[in-house]
Structure 1
Amino acid sequence: MLNAVSSLQALGSAAASIFSSVAVLFGYWAFHLPKPWTKADFLLAALPSVSLVLFGAAFWLAMGLDPRNSHVVIHTVRRLFLGGVLFTCLGIALITMNLH
């Protein structure tokens, strides 16, 4: 990659955007669940929570890096972003199956 700094900025802004979308989805899902929550509901709540942590870490690392040393950490940021996307997709799939 010729310019790793641009890639980090793009990953950081994408992580922040998806972070807010997951937070909205999680809030919507949590308010529409019948009370009291079951153990499966708490497990489903853990998936978006993990993805929020991964996206937050990706954003924090991507925006806080020194551009001269960005090649060292870019793979970590990419893996955190991918992990956040995977946990989000898994959470959406399981939440959708649970709602029906």
Structure 2
Amino acid sequence: MTNIQVFEDAELTPGTAEYIVLAAQRAIADRGRFSLALSGGSTPRPVYELLAQAPFREQIDWSRTHVWWGDERCVPPDDPQCNYGLAREA
């Protein structure tokens, strides 16, 4: 069953980060791994930055997390439009 989360603007970034942490913990406990598809653009950047900081960074077992690019562009990694670069900078 789908669980839809609704956040006020100020709660969006921390709420999304908390949701990802809980999903990761559940998936790793149930299946031994977590798959995360990252989107590009400016909207997800604050979430990626938050996930890269304490305490969120330590709450995900990154060695059991598989990261996928949801909509990568065909540009070099150092191009400003590169989604990989966006995640790397966060």
Under a length normalisation based on structure 2, what TM-score does the superposition of the two structures give? 0.31
Give the TM-score normalised by the residue count of structure 1. 0.28
- Tell me which of the two structures has the higher relative contact order, counting C-alpha pairs closer than 8 angstroms and 6 or more residues apart: 1
Larger radius of gyration: 1
